[in-house]
Chains A and B, each alone.
Chain A
Amino acid sequence: MIRTRALTKDFEVSRTRTVHAVRGISLDVAPGELVAVLGPNGAGKTTTLRMLTTLVPPTSGTAEVAGYDVVARPDAVRAAIGYVGQGGAGGASQLVRDELVTQGEIYGLDRRTARGRAGDLLEALDLTEQADRKVESLSGGQKRRLDVAIGLVHEPSLLFLDEPSTGLDPHNRANLWDHILRMRTAAAQPMTIVLTTHYLDEADTFAERVIVVDHGRVIADDTADALKAELAGDLVTLRVGHQDAAALAALAERAPGTRTVRVEAGAGQSAVAIRTADGPGATPGLLRAADAAGLAVSRVDVARPTLDDVFLGLTGRSLRETAATPDGPGARVEPAGTTTEKKEVLA
């Protein structure tokens, strides 16, 4: 459904400065996939999406979307795809129903068919009551559902969603996703969906495949579970007295499956944080070894990783606060400056 090779986009900010927003993205998306493109602000997610939707031409590389080259046949790509951008798609002074009918006509439906289609979509997206109201009078959640309806009028086989739930509260976000997933399975052939997001849980919960983008490159591409297992691992945190922390950390370093160990001095006690492939499996062994060495562990936490841990493991930065440096003392996580090599390997 999507096939890009070495796709790049440069923006000339001034005569002397060029921003390399996208630096060689090659990816394949098969029909029916639900893919999330995850990354911090400025990672190149939206620029990539704008190239795939024919809004901006690539600087170099190729992209085929729905079987057509985005540069050679933008018209054919546009006819095939649906797009829900970051901004509201409905005109403020237009009526909700009118916008859907107009959109249907734009895609070549005659007026009667477009009216029928609009009615169906209003019902499917729970907007029937708002059909004859002005778009400006809708709530945030209703507006977003209208945006999705507008993107679905022509039953595209491929739908792009650019930050679909930004600005929505958790309830509305869940509701929007309910609708999107229902529309996806209601289609004759399962619709392919590509979304960008910086909400970790959104990518985690809904996407079947997560593509992590940073500095204009793909740095990881797999299912959320596989990414978490391979790139982050579980986090086992053991609390001990300050005097025992170094010994426990050394012991944990030698334990099977351990990836990184870091020690954080807290009030009264230290926390030894151990990244390991299998947290629940490693914990009994760790405790037995601590006991044998005479180290008194007072508390154990085992946490499954999040996609943020994946991003942290890949880049040394957290997605939540991409400016912060989370490296504590004793951390084996590479500092941001040395991540380039790793990225190349993973890309």
Chain B
Amino acid sequence: MSAATLTPARVLPRRSFLRDTRIVLFRELQPVVRDPFSLVFGLVQPLVFLGLFGPLLAGSAGGTLGGDVWLWFVPAVLAMTTLFGTSVTGSNLQIDLSSGVHERMLVTPLSRPAQLVGRALKEMVPVVVQSAIVLVVMLPFGLRPDPLGAALTLAQLAVLGIGVGSLSYALALAVRKQEWMFWVVQQTVLFPVMLLSGMLLPLETGPAWMRAVSSVNPLRYVVDSGRAAFTGDVLSSTVAWGWVAALATALVGLTVGVRAMVRSAD
């Protein structure tokens, strides 16, 4: 019980960005690993879309989609899960901003960019786990994706999730003095991005202006890439553009997020 028996602390002077990132990543993952069931809540929405929107799609647009409706719709639902799951993650940071957790980290020697990168990398885990569950759930309903294409799509979505998650963190940091703004911006951006990706209904049947706007939406390329990959077309240019869009989103997200994190003490 005596406080005099404390182990002497050994403080290493050298810091490494990778070590700092790992510390942040592990800290973020600990609650997920301990309570994996929490990931299941994120699956309610995609399963609702698969169960209640999928059959409608098969009935009304099935003819125009050509081939298997599930191979067209399931990749889109995975992208939707990624988008919804990672775009709200900034609210976790909001909790840490309003308590003392974020401030505590800022006063330690922990690298500030690592505090953002570690959090963003963590986003890969729910994306991959949730997507894998959706795939398994859909197998009994006749989903037969190309295995390599499905695996590559999950990897691509993980990269996209890093980017969207970083942007969500950056948003939380940017509006930290008016917290409610987070949800206003998140909702305002989320639905146009989703509808303009051709996720729910094919953009080919939409007006020309919608197709034009969607051409600057990175999510559209990721959705198209997933559809091509699920049919086994893994070496197509469609898949390559999906990677470009996912990597660009991650790059932009991390850049914006790191900048916001570095300035987050003001």
Contact = CB atoms under 8 A, between A and B. Distances in A.
B1 A107 contact: no
A95 B30 contact: yes
A154 interface: yes
A154 B265 CA distance: 22
A182 interface: yes
Contacts of B206: none
Interface in A77-116: 78-79, 81, 83, 85-95, 98, 102-110, 113, 116
Given A94-B27, A98-B30, A78 B6 contact: no
A30 interface: no
A108 B11 contact: yes
A79 B3 contact: no
Contacts of B9: 104, 107, 109, 113, 117, 153-155
A123 interface: yes
Contact of A94 (B7, B11, B30, B108): B30
A150 to B, nearest CB: 7
A124 B6 contact: yes
Count class of interface residues, chain B: 35 or more
Contacts of A104: 9
B106 interface: yes
Interface residues of A, number: 46
A120 B107 CA distance: 23
A322 interface: no
A78 B107 contact: yes
B12 interface: yes
24 contacts: A55-B103, A55-B106, A85-B103, A85-B104, A85-B107, A86-B100, A87-B101, A89-B104, A91-B27, A91-B96, A104-B9, A106-B108, A106-B110, A107-B108, A109-B10, A109-B11, A110-B10, A113-B7, A113-B9, A117-B7, A120-B6, A124-B1, A154-B11, A155-B6
Interface of B: 1-13, 15, 20, 23, 26-27, 30-31, 34-35, 95-96, 98-101, 103-110, 265-266
Given A79-B13, A88-B100, A95-B30, 4 more contacts: A92-B99, A102-B27, A150-B104, A182-B3
Interface of A: 53-56, 75, 78-79, 81, 83, 85-95, 98, 102-110, 113, 116-117, 120-121, 123-124, 147, 150, 153-155, 182-183, 186, 188
